[in-house]
């Protein structure tokens, strides 16, 4: 029980006891038991005690029962004084009024500290014994009253000691329970924050398949609007029913929001006879990319070492072909062959450079960028190196922030703009493209689109364009888009190909949360 509640109960108890003592005397029910020796003293003391108790109760209500230990000690002391006067007016301990001090001392042991509680019991015991000694000296008491006073004093100390012992253990138990409660709340808040920030989608479904908990990643993967209680898609419910029916199968792949594929995992939960399910959602495309990265990790180290060995003989071949082409006695046919050697040597050297770039890529250092300002500065620098290009910049009216390494995002967008201008040139004869910054309201993230006027990527090549060394051009190395996606992945962004609303070919970068630290 809290100190405020105990103080409130005791304040009402004092009012009731004062009225009972006053009523017993005024009604004559306890005639011969209370107020027998000094009726006037008893009546005046009972009236004063009742008035003070009512005033004290009203005062406590005014201050919401928030008071100091000094005030509590003063009130308990006044109770003991009032009971002593009532005992004196009633002719001794035979009236039974003295036993009311047990409640006073008991409350003191609970509301005050150990020393003040013991001091209050000692004052009450000494006062009762002194009162009986005075009665013996004046001839109004006998030795039996001293025994009764001593017994009451022992009872007071016993009661205070027992209650202090119990209250100490109860207080320690309450402190431990409060500590555990705060720890449990801290762990609950921590768990909620972790689940909310997880990139893996997490759902908790009740026995009827309704979501009890869903984190932000799951909402994004399922295409659900934030803060809504949309029902789950039929594909997901069907996959969950299949996983429930097949014990040996723990995952399934379904169609997610947009063109994504989701891998669904299911784990049953049981809590207090409540049956629920824990569902995990992951982007199957990213899982496939991670698996491919593991395969390419060892291959990358091997190709990097091979690249070092290739560059020296390749340089010698290229140099020898240039010297042979400068020879005066070489025929036109042989000169064409040397040009082929030089051209393909440069192509192989470019492939080696790309492979070396992969192997020595620096550590990612993401920063919070304002994309509108960054896009304007990027376009100015890009057009200085490409004066014949025509890139239209489309910006939103509000600020858009994202977290990305400034050098790496420049490398990614430069590669995408080069591809867009080249394909537009081949298709329309004009090197034009569009760079658009916007906010994806469904996924709640910033996005950057690079659009061109080319025919687009054929459907049969959409899954291969980001694979290393895949190219549809005779002069391409097939590493540009692969490096661009690798840089995006290292900055927790995603790069993919899609069609814009007006059916133009588009490479889109979806950024991570600008406030997220990683």
- Give the residue carrying structure tokens 């209250």: 167
Last-in-domain residue among 359, 387, 412: 359
What is the SS3 assignment for 265? strand
Q: Which pLDDT belongs to residue 231?
A: 66
Per-residue pLDDT tens digits for 439-458: 888 777 899 999 998 888 88
Q: Which pLDDT belongs to residue 287?
A: 64
Last-in-domain residue among 224, 256, 282: 282
pLDDT of residue 129 exceeding 60: yes
> Which element (helix H / strand E) includes 439?
strand 432-440
N- to C-terminal Cα separation, the chain: 47
Residues 381 and 334 in one domain: no
Asked, for residue 187, whether it belongs to a domain, the answer is no
Radius of gyration of the chain (CA): 44
Report phi then psi at 392, rounded to 5: -90, 130
Q: Which pLDDT belongs to residue 475?
A: 59
CB 92 within 8 A of CB 98: no
Domain CATH for 350? 1.10.287
The mean pLDDT value of the chain amounts to 81
Domain CATH for 456? 3.30.565.10
Residues 377 and 231 in one domain: no
The top-scoring range by mean pLDDT among 181-190, 249-258, 325-334, 350-359 is 181-190
Report the distance separating Cα 56 and Cα 42, nearest Å.
Answer: 21
pLDDT of residue 54 exceeding 90: yes
Asked, for residue 260, whether it belongs to a domain, the answer is yes
> Which element (helix H / strand E) includes 20?
helix 3-27
Asked, for residue 95, whether it belongs to a domain, the answer is yes
The top-scoring range by mean pLDDT among 23-32, 245-254, 509-518 is 23-32
The share of the chain scoring above pLDDT 70, in percent, equals: 84
Flag the least confident range among 112-116, 192-196, 262-266, 290-294: 290-294
Asked, for residue 264, whether it belongs to a domain, the answer is yes
Q: Which pLDDT belongs to residue 258?
A: 53
Domain CATH for 202? 3.30.450.20
CB 203 within 8 A of CB 145: no
Would the pTM count as exceeding 0.75? Answer: no
Kindly report each contact of residues 312-318 with a partner whose C-beta sits within 8 Å and lies 24 or more positions away, as own/partner. Answer: 314/345, 314/348, 314/349, 314/352, 315/349, 317/341, 317/345, 318/342, 318/345, 318/346, 318/349
Residues 388 and 457 in one domain: yes
How many CA atoms does the CB half-sphere of 107 hold within 13 Å? 24
Residues 308 and 217 in one domain: no
Residues 272 and 294 in one domain: no
In sequence order, what are the residues at sequence separation of 6 or more whose Cβ sits closer than 8 angstroms to the Cβ of residue 397? none
Report the distance separating Cα 400 and Cα 440, nearest Å.
Answer: 11
Report the distance separating Cα 75 and Cα 217, nearest Å.
Answer: 61
Residues 494 and 380 in one domain: yes
Last-in-domain residue among 235, 252, 282: 282
Per-residue pLDDT tens digits for 379-437: 988 888 888 888 999 999 888 999 898 888 998 999 899 889 988 888 888 888 999 99
Task: Kindly state the average pLDDT of the residues 319-330.
Answer: 80
Residues 163 and 14 in one domain: yes
Tell me, what DSSP letter sits at residue 32? T
Q: Which pLDDT belongs to residue 183?
A: 92
Report the distance separating Cα 351 and Cα 98, nearest Å.
Answer: 103
Asked, for residue 314, whether it belongs to a domain, the answer is yes
Per-residue pLDDT tens digits for 212-231: 778 877 777 777 765 555 56
Q: Which pLDDT belongs to residue 267?
A: 77
Q: Per residue in 82-117, is it b (16+ CB within 10 Å) or e — as a string?
A: bbbbbbbbbbbbebebbebbbbbbbbbbbbbeeebb
Task: Give burial (CB, 10 Å; 0-12/13-18/19+) of 228.
Answer: exposed
What is the SS3 assignment for 106? helix
Asked, for residue 243, whether it belongs to a domain, the answer is yes
Residues 340 and 387 in one domain: no
Task: Kindly state the average pLDDT of the residues 127-141.
Answer: 82
> Which element (helix H / strand E) includes 294?
helix 284-325
Asked, for residue 354, whether it belongs to a domain, the answer is yes
Residues 276 and 292 in one domain: no
pLDDT of residue 518 exceeding 70: no
CB 375 within 8 A of CB 395: yes
Task: Kindly state the average pLDDT of the residues 481-492.
Answer: 84
Task: Kindly state the average pLDDT of the residues 470-499.
Answer: 79
The top-scoring range by mean pLDDT among 41-50, 317-326, 475-484 is 41-50
Domain span at residue 112? 3-181
Q: Which pLDDT belongs to residue 33?
A: 75
Q: Which pLDDT belongs to residue 298?
A: 66
What's the structural domain count of the chain?
Answer: 4
Per-residue pLDDT tens digits for 147-197: 888 888 888 888 888 888 888 888 888 889 999 999 999 888 888 787 777
Residues 386 and 490 in one domain: yes
Residues 80 and 220 in one domain: no
Asked, for residue 517, whether it belongs to a domain, the answer is no
Instruction: Read off the tokens for 111.
Output: 């509301």
pLDDT of residue 259 exceeding 70: no
Residues 174 and 34 in one domain: yes
């Amino acid at each position: 029980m809290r100190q405020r509640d105990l103080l409130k109960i005791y304040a009402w108890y004092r009012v009731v006891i004062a009225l009972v003592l006053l009523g017993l005397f005024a009604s004559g029910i306890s005639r011969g038991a209370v107020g027998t020796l000094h009726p006037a003293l008893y009546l005046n003391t009972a009236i004063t005690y009742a008035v003070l108790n009512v005033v004290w109760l009203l005062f406590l209500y005014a201050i919401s029962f928030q008071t100091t230990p000094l005030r509590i000690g003063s009130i308990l002391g006044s109770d003991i004084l009032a009971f002593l006067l009532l005992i004196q007016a009633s002719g001794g301990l035979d009236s039974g009024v003295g036993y009311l001090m047990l409640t006073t001392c008991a409350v003191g042991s609970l509301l005050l500290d150990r020393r003040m509680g013991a001091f209050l019991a000692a004052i009450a015991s000494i006062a009762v014994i002194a009162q009986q000694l005075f009665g013996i000296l004046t001839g109004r008491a006998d030795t039996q009253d001293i025994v009764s006073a001593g017994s009451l004093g022992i009872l007071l100390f016993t009661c205070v000691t027992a209650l202090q012992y119990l209250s100490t253990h109860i207080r320690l138990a309450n402190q431990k329970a409060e500590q555990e409660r705060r720890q449990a709340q801290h762990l609950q808040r921590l768990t909620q924050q972790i689940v909310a920030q997880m990139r893996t989608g997490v759902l908790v479904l009740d026995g009827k398949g309704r979501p009890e908990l869903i984190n932000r990643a799951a909402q994004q993967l399922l295409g659900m609007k934030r803060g809504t209680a949309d029902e789950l898609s039929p594909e997901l419910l069907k996959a969950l029913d299949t996983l429930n029916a097949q014990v040996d199968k723990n995952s399934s792949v379904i169609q997610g929001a947009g063109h994504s594929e989701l891998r669904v995992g299911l784990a049953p939960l049981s809590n207090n006879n409540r049956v629920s399910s824990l569902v995990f959602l992951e982007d199957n495309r990213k899982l496939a990319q991670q698996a491919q990265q593991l395969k390419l990790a060892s291959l990358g180290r091997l190709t990097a070492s091979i690249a070092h060995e290739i560059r020296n003989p390749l340089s010698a071949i290229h140099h020898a072909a240039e010297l042979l082409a400068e020879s005066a006695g070489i025929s036109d046919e042989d000169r064409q062959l040397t040009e082929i050697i030089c051209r393909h040597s440069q192509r192989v050297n470019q492939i080696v450079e790309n492979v070396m770039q992969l192997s020595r890529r620096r550590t990612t250092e993401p920063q919070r960028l304002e994309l509108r300002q960054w896009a304007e500065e990027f376009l100015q620098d890009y057009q200085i190196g490409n004066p014949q290009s025509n890139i239209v910049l489309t910006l939103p009216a509000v600020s858009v922030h994202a977290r990305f390494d400034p050098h790496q995002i420049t490398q990614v967008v430069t590669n995408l703009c080069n591809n867009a201008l080249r394909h537009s040139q081949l298709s329309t004869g004009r090197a034009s493209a569009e760079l658009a910054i916007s906010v994806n309201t469904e996924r709640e993230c910033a996005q950057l689109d690079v659009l061109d006027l080319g025919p687009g990527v054929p459907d049969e090549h959409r899954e291969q364009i980001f694979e290393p060394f895949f190219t549809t051009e005779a002069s391409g190395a097939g590493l540009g888009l692969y490096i661009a996606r690798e840089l995006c992945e290292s900055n927790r962004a995603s790069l993919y190909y899609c069609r814009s609303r007006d059916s133009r070919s588009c490479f889109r970068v979806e950024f991570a949360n600008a406030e997220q630290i990683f």
